[in-house]
Amino acid sequence: MWMVLTLSFAAVIAALVTALMLMRRRQHLLCQQIEQSSLYDGLTGLPNRRLFDQLAGQAITQARREDWRLLVMFIDLDGFKQINDTVGHEAGDDVLRQTASRLRAVLRHEEHLARHGGDEFVALLLHVKDLRSAPGIARRLIDALEHPIQVRNKRVRVGASIGISRFPEEGETIEALVRRADRAMRQVKQAGGGTFRLSSGAVKRLEEGAA
């Protein structure tokens, strides 16, 4: 009798311990999911603005210590509003997902691409030794969107307008760099879009050999 009670009690304890471990594991997974949702864009899977600011802050600290230059590229899609208006928002979401994938494929693994909001993306390029590389990288990002995107049995096109800022010449903080790159992008938009511009307007200077 006592042996049966002892075995039953041990089984209950084992079941409670197992249940407690499962509960803690689920809580841990839930915390991870909450953290993931707070740092990544739910539509594209890219870092969101919060995570991008954190990554950029770390990169700027390291760049100061190791005398790097950084590039920030502010990317706005051309023609996206028309897709939303004519094909629908679900198709627009598909376009954003495919666009994010194409842009991400252009950059190196250690470089960062984030969704800034709406149809805007921001890229952070690290270890920039020669600023003359900026136009070529911007052009590759634009060219990545050259081919039509298939959504809802339709083929649609988007382009990109890009503004570029440089650390440390044009800003010591990520906020300042993004702001100047955004301003340069808007100048591109006003001129018709589909190309890039350095925030200082010195793209020509870079192409002519500025370091």
- Residues marked active site are found at 119
CB-facing half-sphere around the CA of 160: CA atoms within 13 A: 28
Give start and end residues of each alpha helix (H) in the chain: 2-39, 49-66, 80-86, 89-106, 134-143, 174-190, 203-207
| Gap between the Cα atoms of 93 and 151, Å rounded | 10
Question: How many CB atoms sit inside 10 A of residue 98's CB?
Answer: 17
Q: Cα dist. 107→116, 195, 210 in Å?
A: 17, 18, 23
Radius of gyration of the chain (CA): 24
| Residue 53 near residue 112 (C-beta atoms within 8 A) | no
Q: How many angstroms from the chain centroid is the CA of residue 44?
A: 9
